[in-house]
Each structure stands twice: as structure tokens, then as C-alpha cells.
Chains A and B, each alone.
Chain A
């Protein structure tokens, strides 16, 4: 009847927006090693803070490079990111297995 293709870029966008809606996430950071200076990505660059590995049609591994608020339980926030991003991606794309890795690139100070 027809096929549906979802690009990596689209998945990255979905994951990035879901992550930034999580409480405790103050931004995404660039994943590349060339960007040595830690900076918060702008809205239009969000997808460079996400890595997507497509294992097969039903399996995805998403890695998120995030910056969290200081003075917050990092472990709990990370768990929330994992469950929320995985839920949103599964829901919107219908892909069955979505694994999410969270890499904390930095902590943002209070001031």
C-alpha cells in the first residue's frame, strides 16, 4: 500500500523537544568533540545535541547530550528524561523499542 520513512533528523527533533520539556533540563549541548567549549544549543540547532542509531525498523537507540540545572537530583532527572523521551518517541512514531541514553555534558550554575 505504501511505505513510511522517518528520517533520523525528524527523530532527533522529536527527541530533543521531548527532552527539553523535562523538568531539570536547561539545555542541550553539542555532541561533537570539536566543540570543546560547552555551550547551550539554540532552538534551531537542537538536533546536533542528539544522536540516533537505527538498529532496525522497530528499534532505535537515542543518545541525548544534556545540560542540567545545578542543585538537582541528577539521577532522577535522567530517569525522567529516559522515560519521557522514550514514551514520546514511541507514541509519535509507532516504533516499538526505543532505548534512550542520557549523557550529561554539564551543569548550569544558579547565577
Chain B
């Protein structure tokens, strides 16, 4: 093939469209810049699709007409940033075509150069490492290959060069490097050319059907079990021969060479034979074999475990706000239907609380705000909830909530339980250990920033050098108030080691002989220890 006619060009673009359609999900996944919305592949595909559709409608006779309609199509259909750039590239490409019937290699090269020029014109500060870099490298490659007579050879050279440039995009653009990907737009453009090249060669690229997302993944038996990746030196052994030979071992074969290093990817049942084959041809640098069967089984198991719905055993549902995975787990095990993430630094909004209330199964919902700052939002949510009866139990701390829930009686009425809960709040004392965020003097204590402080019912009473020491001195300070105490449940935070907590509880048990101590993981941030005293 020495030149392209209108018909060939049409074949080329239709091939591009279908190939891009197949690869668009892959391209979408690459998208990191500038906004990580992951739609580059789809945008480019839809842009091209509009153009092809307008060609179908207008049925142009000559190249000039074809170009005009195609440009209009991409202009109108141009979606997203990549679509707009693509439309400019196409526009630049067809701009130079005037009264010619055949595009030869030289003409194609000229068109690509103009495409680059037009594409760069529309931006003040071109960012390198994007689709613009790729189209420029294509134009450059077309100049290098201008002496090739065969169009397919010429186009293959351009695609190969562009791929090489694409590999370098992470070096040009730091965001790509950080994300560990290559540029999405550039990849899309290369697929566009690659698809065109394939269809010019006479390969048929099947049209894509719209995929249904969110398929449930089942543990199915795979035809080929092992995902095998080999990095090897093959001493210029021809890639296509290797590819052909590998077909006997499995599918999904990819052979790619960069510098001397060749990367081989294959799904196979006999990775040992693959390795033996490659060793016969050259040297292996690295090998990685993964069992996909087990992976999918694991994945399916994980997804199956996920939905677990807690149903309240009382006549009412319980919603609680908590921070820390330990508290979350405790609440769930106690039958709290909805645990809202939030706490000291991150207050949930009224809407969050309302949403949680709406999700509950029973008509009456008890809300435990577990923080004085959230009580207000909870009261607001109560006002706005018209489908459910909402009752707020104004707890100031998750540690308070746990004994209250434990004391609920499912045989008693809702009112009875509620009044009992509100009564209990006053009876449960809370001891906390946290750190100071600034220098201050309070209750005669001179507190420095980052000092550990002990709070008893929200009053700062002690300070210390370790959380454990602070907690010990805190309890000793309020000794008189603990005379009637029976249980002290201590919830340790995520910055505390379990052993430290255990050592502290041992000491505490010696000092307070009549009290039963319990140490549980709360996982809360900022507070080293939270304890409820009953």
C-alpha cells in the first residue's frame, strides 16, 4: 500500500474507533491528571464516535468533504479535555488536505506536523508528558520514516516510536510518576493509531458492546490458572516468533521489548514449560507467577462476606457516633444498627445522622451522639426526621454508651428504657487521658503543650509524663468519688500499646481492691484512655 484513499482513511478511523472502544476502560484507569475522574478513554471514544456517525449520515465523496465533516464531528462531539485536544489534532490533520485524492507518506507526515502545530496553538503553557508530547513524537517519527514507501511500514514505525515516548511520560510529568502510570490521553492516541493500523492491515476489530458494570464476581474455574510474568534478555530473538510459540502454553500473551529487556506476560497452566522455553532462547532476569484461581476465590469470598445487616433485638433501633474501629466493633456487637464515623475532631453533619436514622429497621430510633459537640446536630436531625420517632440520649462519650446499651431491657417499654438511659448518664463518670495542644494554666495546674492531661467528667485534674502515670494519678485524685464504684471499663486508644495498658490495670487493681477493671481496645484517636466508671 503506497497511499490512502478516502475509503482507506475511513477504514483506518473505523478501526481506531473500535479499538479505542475495546481499550477505553484501560485508558480510563490511567487517568490522573488534572482531575482524577477517570474518563479519558470514554471521552476520546465518544469524540471519535460522533465523528464517525456524522460521516455515516453525510456519506462524503472526496477527501476534502470527508475531512470537513470529520472535523465538525469531532468538534461537536469533543468531550472533556482529551476530546477537545483530539478534535484539534484532527482539525490540524485535515487542514492541509486540499484537492488531493490520495494521501501518500509525505503528505501524511505533513498532515501530522500540522496537527501538532494546531494542537500546540491552543495552549499557552503546554505541559510535556501529555497527549501533546505524543502527537509531537508521532510527527517527528513520520519525518524519520519518510523514505519508507509502504504505508503500513510507515505507520507501524510511527506507532512504535510513539509507544517509546509514552513510556517516558512519567519522567516528564511528576504526577504520572507519583501515580505510577503513563499518560492516559497519550495512550488513547496511540490506541487510535494502532487500531487504524490494524484495520488497514485487514484485521477485523470487533465492535464493542456496552458492558454491564458491577457484575458479581464468582469463584469460577479459570481456563488458565497461572498469571506468569517474565523479564528476560532474549538477544534480539524476534518477538513475533516467541509470541507464536507461546500460544501453545496459554492465552493473554503480551511480549514487549524495551532496550534489551523483554517482558513476557502469559496466562498458562504450565508456567514451568514457559520458563523452560524462554531459558532455551535467552536469560531470565525476573519471574513472577501468581495463581489466579486462588485470587478470584479469595476475592469472591471477600465480597460475599461483606453484607451483614444488624437488626436490633429491641423495639427500637440504635444509632451511635463513634471514632475508632474498636468502639465501632463493640457497638456493632451490642446491636447498634448504624455506627456513624465521627468524634472529637470530625463531627458528623446533621445529614449524616439523618441518613443513619432513615436506614434503621425500627420505627423508633435512639441516637447516642457520644460527644457534646454532636448533641446539637442530633437534635436537629430529630426535628427533620418525619418518618421515624427519634430520641436522643445525650451521651458525651462512647464509653458512657456501652453500659447504657448493656442495661437496656427488651421486655420493658421504649419509654422505660429511655428514661433509664437518661438517668444512667448522670451515674456514669468518665475518666480520660489525652494531651494538651497548647500551654495553659487550669485548676492550678501549669500545663505545657504536649503534656499528658487527665480529665474526670470534663475537668482537667492531673498532668503527667506518660498516659499511664496520668491515668493512675487521675484515679487517685478522685478516690473519694470512686468509693461506690464497682466496674471501671478502660478503652485504650490507637496510640497505646496493649502491654502498657495491661501493666497499668495490674497496678490499678492493687490500689483499688474492690473495683473490677476491664481493658478493651477502643482505637480512638487523641484520647489515650477513656474509662467509664459505674
Which residues of A line the B interface, CB within 8 A? 1, 20-27, 68-69, 71-73, 76-77, 79-80, 83-84, 87-88, 110
Contact = CB atoms under 8 A, between A and B. Distances in A.
A71 B75 contact: yes
A86 B78 CA distance: 21
A69 B122 contact: yes
Interface of A (DSSP majority class): mixed
Interface string B76-115: 1011110111011001000000000000000000000000
A26 B122 contact: yes
Contacts of B406: none
A72 B122 contact: yes
A72 B119 CA distance: 11
Interface stretch (B123-131, B358-366, B463-471, B474-482): B123-131
Nearest to B124: A20
Nearest to A79: B80
B122 A24 contact: yes
Q: How many of chain B's residues touch chain A, expressed as a range?
A: 20 to 34
Contacts of A80: 80-81, 84
A87 B35 contact: yes
Contacts of A79: 80
B84 A72 contact: yes
A76 B122 contact: no
B438 interface: yes
6 contacts: A1-B437, A22-B123, A26-B122, A69-B122, A71-B91, A73-B78
Given A26-B123, A76-B84, 9 more contacts: A21-B123, A25-B124, A26-B122, A69-B121, A71-B88, A71-B91, A72-B84, A83-B35, A84-B35
5 smallest CB-CB distances across A and B, nearest first, come from A69-B122, A73-B78, A80-B81, A87-B35, A84-B34
B79 A72 contact: no
Contact of A73 (B84, B123, B127, B437): B84
Contacts of B127: 21
Contact of B84 (A1, A21, A24, A84): A24
Contacts of A68: 122
Contacts of A84: 34-35, 81
Contacts of A22: 81, 123
Contacts of A72: 75, 78, 84, 87-88, 122
A44 B437 CA distance: 41
Contacts of B91: 71
Contacts of B75: 71-73
A21 B76 contact: no
Which of A68, A72, A84 gathers the greatest number of chain B CB atoms within 10 Å?
Answer: A72
Nearest to B123: A23
B93 to A, nearest CB: 13
Interface of B: 34-35, 37, 75-76, 78-81, 83-85, 87-88, 91, 121-125, 127, 437-438
Contacts of A76: 78-81, 83-84
Which of A20, A76, A88 gathers the greatest number of chain B CB atoms within 10 Å?
Answer: A76
Contact of B124 (A27, A71, A88): A27
A76 B76 CA distance: 9
Contacts of A25: 123-124
Contacts of B123: 21-26, 69
B449 to A, nearest CB: 9
A87 B34 CA distance: 8
A76 B122 CA distance: 14
A22 B438 CA distance: 44
A26 B125 CA distance: 9
A23 B78 contact: no
A110 B37 CA distance: 31
A64 B373 CA distance: 39
Given A20-B125, A21-B127, A25-B123, A73 B87 contact: yes
Contacts of A83: 34-35, 37
Given A1-B438, A71-B75, A72-B75, A77 B84 contact: yes
A71 B123 CA distance: 13
A23 B35 contact: no
Nearest to A28: B124
B125 A23 contact: no
Contacts of A69: 88, 121-123
B84 A23 contact: yes
A77 B88 CA distance: 12
Contacts of B34: 21, 83-84, 87-88
Contacts of A26: 121-124
Contacts of B78: 72-73, 76
Nearest to A27: B124
Nearest to B81: A80
Contact of B76 (A73, A88, A110): A73
B416 to A, nearest CB: 44
A100 to B, nearest CB: 12
B133 to A, nearest CB: 13
Nearest to A17: B125
A27 B122 CA distance: 10
A76 B39 CA distance: 14
Contacts of B437: 1
A25 B122 CA distance: 6
A23 B81 contact: yes
A105 to B, nearest CB: 15
A26 B79 CA distance: 19
A1 B76 CA distance: 53
B179 to A, nearest CB: 14
A111 to B, nearest CB: 10
Contacts of A77: 84
B37 to A, nearest CB: 8
Contacts of B37: 83
A20 to B, nearest CB: 5
A18 to B, nearest CB: 8
Nearest to A40: B124
B76 A23 contact: no
